Amino acid sequence: MSEMSKSKQKRMEQEKNRSTQHMQKAVATFWKIFIPLAIVAAIVCGVILYQRSKLDYSRYLNDNGTIKGINISDYVTVNDDAMSFSRSELTPSDEEIDSQIASDISSNQYMSDDPEEESVYGDKVSITYTSTVNGNDFKTASEATDYEIGSEEFGEEFDEALEGHFPGEDFSISVALPDDYEDENYAGMVADFDIHLIGVYVDRPFDDEYVKEFHSDVASTVEEYRQSLIDKGFDSNLASKVESSLSLNSVVNKIPTAYKDNLARVMVDQQRSYMISMYQMFGMEAPSGETWELMGAESKEAFDSQMSTRAEEETKTALEIQYLYEKYGLSFTDDDVRTYFKAQGNFDDASFDEAVKANGKGFYAQEYMKVKVLEKLKEVVKITE
């Protein structure tokens, strides 16, 4: 009995050792397989998280500018048949056309050296001058420089003193520089000016010759030019009315959240780029800080909320445009997009290629899609008399 117990015990121990060895082998095999898989999974997750955090202007857009993975009719419907405008509300008024012509004439003035052409308030004159403050040189324009009487660059007194003079005349004036003069070292001080009036800019006669000289690309007579302004104003007003009426004649059922959230990030990035470019334009170094600080928002939360609201409105517009794009069966090529953006004057071929490489085809195609849809809408909306 005792011998059998020892034998049985030995067999049990051997069985236990074999089980332990099997378990150890299984565990070793598991870790050999699991660790590499875990590493690969971690890398994949890291890549996914990085890609999601990396700003991509075209992330949720197809190359033709449509939003990826949606059936547009599930998101929005647009009743473009309800769009109707009266011709009178689209046609520019006579006063608006007269104002445009007056502005054009003013931009094409010529300098008269007629000794009887008296300078008056509002005139642009050509002058040279030297000036001193307390006997010391202050400012000099030894070559002809244009000055608009009324701009108050040197203050109201200076502008008043320029009135009532004639081309070829030399005169001297003493004036107090304004308290807010750009150079605070001279603000409020009395400056003595010796001025030579070269000429006074005057309007050209607005006649057929004027039109041929400055607007031969659109007209050859005054009446033709005036009509071209009316037509251009009508087209501009129609485009504005069509775009603003989109939301009034649409029902948005839901929003593609991922697209909207990415658009909000794009808009923030664009705002930051814009602010930095403004600082650079004026030769200033952009301050450090987050975008909401550069934009002067009271808090990051308030700024994010504002951007989210704007992104939602822009998303609704994108959905409406895509709905009509698909409804009308419109299409365009990459070359169409390129030609459009080059025509805006912001790109040449090389810079546009770089922009597409950085931001993706979809980003630019989506903007051009809007142009195409609005042009189509202008053709199909009702114009009542």
Tell me the β-bridge partners of 124: 148
> So what's the architecture of 110-202 in CATH?
Roll (3.10)
HEC sequence for 40-52: HHHHHHHHHHHHH
Of the pLDDT bands very low, low, confident and very high (cuts 50, 70, 90), residue 146 is: very high
Per-residue pLDDT of 249-267, as tens digits, reads 999 999 999 999 999 999 9
C-alpha angle 230-202-194 in degrees, rounded to nearest 5: 145
Is pLDDT of 30 > 60? no
Task: Output the furthest CA–CA distance in the chain (Å, rounded).
Answer: 145
Of the pLDDT bands very low, low, confident and very high (cuts 50, 70, 90), residue 8 is: low
Of the pLDDT bands very low, low, confident and very high (cuts 50, 70, 90), residue 277 is: confident
Rounded to whole angstroms, the Cα distance separating 65 from 321 reads 10
Average pLDDT of span 191-195: 96
Is pLDDT of 359 > 60? yes
- Which of 202, 217, 273 has the alpha carbon at shortest distance from 55? 273
CATH code of the domain made up of 72-91+216-384: 1.10.3120
Strands annotated E in the chain = 76-78, 84-86, 110-112, 124-133, 136-148, 170-176, 190-202, 250-252, 382-384
C-alpha angle 347-331-365 in degrees, rounded to nearest 5: 35
- Which of 206, 243, 199 has the alpha carbon at shortest distance from 375? 243
Per-residue pLDDT of 57-97, as tens digits, reads 999 999 999 999 999 999 999 999 999 999 999 999 999 99
Tokens of 274: 């814009």
- Which of 127, 121, 139 has the alpha carbon at shortest distance from 189? 139
Say what the pLDDT of residue 73 is. Answer: 96
Is pLDDT of 222 > 60? yes
* Helix segments in 54-155, DSSP class H: 72-75, 87-90, 94-107
